[in-house]
Chain A
Amino acid sequence: MRFAAAIIAAALLLSGCEAGMVQRRVVVHALGIDPGEDGGYSVSYQIFTGGSGGDSGPVDASEQTVITLPAEGKTLFDAESSLGLKTGREVFLGDVELIVISDELSGRGLSDPLQYFARAGIYPGVNVIFCEGRARDIIGEKLEQGSATAILLKGVLEKAIEGSRACSSRIIELSNALLFDGGARAVPLISLEKREKPEESSSVSPVDIKIPGSILIGENDPAALTEDEVAGIRLLRCNAEKIDLAINTPSGDISIGVDNISAKRSVKIENGSPAVTVYIAGKYRLESAPDGFSEEEAKRLAERELLRLCGAAAEKSRETGEDFLDVGRLLRKYEPEYFNAQNGGFSGISDKTIFYVKACLRKY
């Protein structure tokens, strides 16, 4: 055992990072990617300036210790090298929490950025989102909530994903769908709206963060997706867990929370076309409603609303011809003969697909 103990002791002593090593690195917290000159990229790096929460505490990510540095390059790798030259330090991307890409770049697709993210050592669970306008403005924005913008944006995005108003867009998920399988994905779109700061309340932030919809990235040109269509995608792909519904009725507006959603889907070939059957089950809770509104009516309206959302997503799928509902993958697994007969792979499948959806909710 002595030799094992000696090796373990030596490795323990040698494996730690020295303080100087951290100072020689540019620790990037978020990336903002905008179009650059001549078809290149202009990248904004939100970085730590070296603040820490003490010897044993986590790194302090408050806005006081975060700055944004820009760098340009023909490729994203060039931009990274340019930042390294500019700062004289090694650019470390292992701590990136969020990647924001300007919607002006959506036409170029995500193949190049995704390949770069994978090889740059960025954590595969990091979400990639589009933004309205310039990503630099969003990454460099100073908010008053006391945290770096990336953390707030990430929080907002996570809430939207949890509420089925945005799809998860992790690097690994996008790469598998867009680079390897040939499907399409809805990438959330974020927007920052500045407004006049109310004089009487200094604690209110002058910035609104919104996720107004998503951008569909696939084989064809990008397309805009509404919140409803995204919710429908989540339901039809069976990965929605909860959803809040706001429904207008003649007697007034009602709010219904649907929770514990579980969905199952199957596929078969009907008259030469794929037919996908989706069963959605869940529990509903009437959050607010005009006086005297019956639970039974709320249930009926909620089920109808879920079907409407699914219909919106299916219609969008037919309209764009993109397989963001994973019908191709379903066919590849359960109807391989039909899938292999479609020489185009995933393209062209969504136009022919028929959806049968049944929603059944129970009271919470």
Chain B
Amino acid sequence: MLNRKITPGQLALIFLLARIMHTMLYRFDSFASGTPLMAGQLLSTAAEAVLCVPAAVFFTKFPGAKIFEGGLPARAVSVFEAAYFTVIAGGTVALFAEFLQNKFSGTVFPAAAIVILCAAAAYCAGGGLEGIARAAAVVFWLFAALFAVTAVLSEGKPDTLNLLPFDGESAKAAAEYFVESLSSAWWIPMLAALSESLRSGAAKAAAGFLILKLAIIETLLLLITLILWRYVGVLGYPILALGAYAKSDFVQRFDAINMLVWTVNCAIVCGAYVFIAARPFKKPKAGAIAMSAAAAVFGLWQYRRGLRFNEPWLIAFKLFGIFVLGTLLPLLGLIIRHSKNKKEAYAE
């Protein structure tokens, strides 16, 4: 595995692709759309900005450093980290397989999709973080182009009557979406895990990601509200729904191009998760194979059980990981380093 360092921009793009992947697989079951969701996303971004502060400060102050230098705490953290990102990777491929099954029923064998995507993720992880980051940049621009084409070709007419004022019921919907959105903020533990491979500027990566994410997701939610309204619940997947209301039949294989980009994105994003999960292994390539196999097993189990992204225990598990790995441990690391520095200063 290559250990060349990446830039803050590259790291922000990896986070962004991971978030876009999650948004793509997010299903609107409750026919919810409108201002509550937009408010929930705004609140979630504000909360994420607060939660990422310890990791951003730690890795900006100590670029390339580890939170725990070694010993049992470091091993325990890396084992939990490996388990956490294996679950995230497995969940992502399981939801992607469910998406394929829902929308391309009869043409895809979901179990095969899970296994192939995990194998591709192992290959990506084995190539190292720099390779993942470079591929992520290509996929990001492809996404941007697809998004622009879809917006231009959209047949929907924006209806501003759908932008409703905020009331008591909106607050409840906003709170629910806030929790769901915050539970998908595993970019914060990713920041803590991947900042060791960052040249410098962890805070820049976090800020860049948060600004781009807010702009992209809020734009998406605004378009859904103005153009699709409650119909988004019929089509389920929001990005797909927006694409489905665009007259793109003159572009031969437009849907295939979309699926190609989404599939590549799934492999790259899961590659980043497997890369983190494989860190406790001494032989990184073997670790990547082992952890992607574990992700495949979890993904197959999740798919067979029909578990959704918003299962209460999964939300609790993801939030726990975000708080512990992304906020609490970097904060602990900062406190330890601070007291160590103080002791050294006193000793001098």
Contacts and interface: CB of A to CB of B under 8 A. Distances in A.
Contact of B253 (A16, A172, A180): A16
A333 B165 contact: yes
Instruction: Count chain A CB atoms within 10 A of each CB in B120, B134, B167, B230 and give the residue with the most.
Output: B230
Interface stretch (B64-72, B190-198, B256-264, B322-330): B256-264
Interface stretch (B123-131, B207-215, B313-321): B123-131
A118 interface: yes
A123 B244 contact: yes
Contact of B260 (A8, A118, A340): A8
A55 B94 CA distance: 38
A325 to B, nearest CB: 12
Query: For this complex, into which size category does the number of interface residues on chain B fall?
Result: 20 to 34
B228 interface: yes
A333 B164 contact: yes
Contacts of A194: none
Given A1-B135, A4-B135, A330-B161, A176 B124 contact: no
A137 interface: no
A266 to B, nearest CB: 12
B61 interface: no
Contacts of B253: 15-16
A332 B161 CA distance: 8
Given A16-B253, A125-B247, A118 B131 contact: no
B145 interface: no
Nearest to A15: B256
Query: For this complex, into which size category does the number of interface residues on chain A fall?
Result: 20 to 34
Contacts of B245: 124-125, 172
Nearest to A125: B155
B281 to A, nearest CB: 20
B244 A124 contact: yes
B231 interface: yes
Nearest to B142: A8
A3 B161 contact: no
Main secondary structure of the interface of A (DSSP, over half): helix
Contacts of A8: 260, 264
Nearest to B126: A3
B161 to A, nearest CB: 5
B221 interface: no
B14 interface: no
A1 B127 CA distance: 9
A339 to B, nearest CB: 10
B229 A1 contact: no
Interface of A: 1, 3-4, 7-8, 11-12, 15-16, 118-119, 123-125, 172, 175-176, 179-181, 326, 329-330, 332-333, 336, 340
22 contacts: A1-B131, A3-B120, A3-B123, A3-B131, A4-B264, A7-B263, A7-B267, A11-B259, A11-B260, A11-B263, A12-B260, A16-B253, A172-B228, A180-B31, A180-B230, A326-B161, A329-B161, A330-B161, A332-B164, A336-B164, A336-B167, A340-B167
Interface of B: 31, 120, 123-124, 127, 131, 134-135, 138-139, 155-156, 161, 163-165, 167, 228-231, 234-235, 244-245, 247, 253, 256, 259-260, 263-264, 267-268
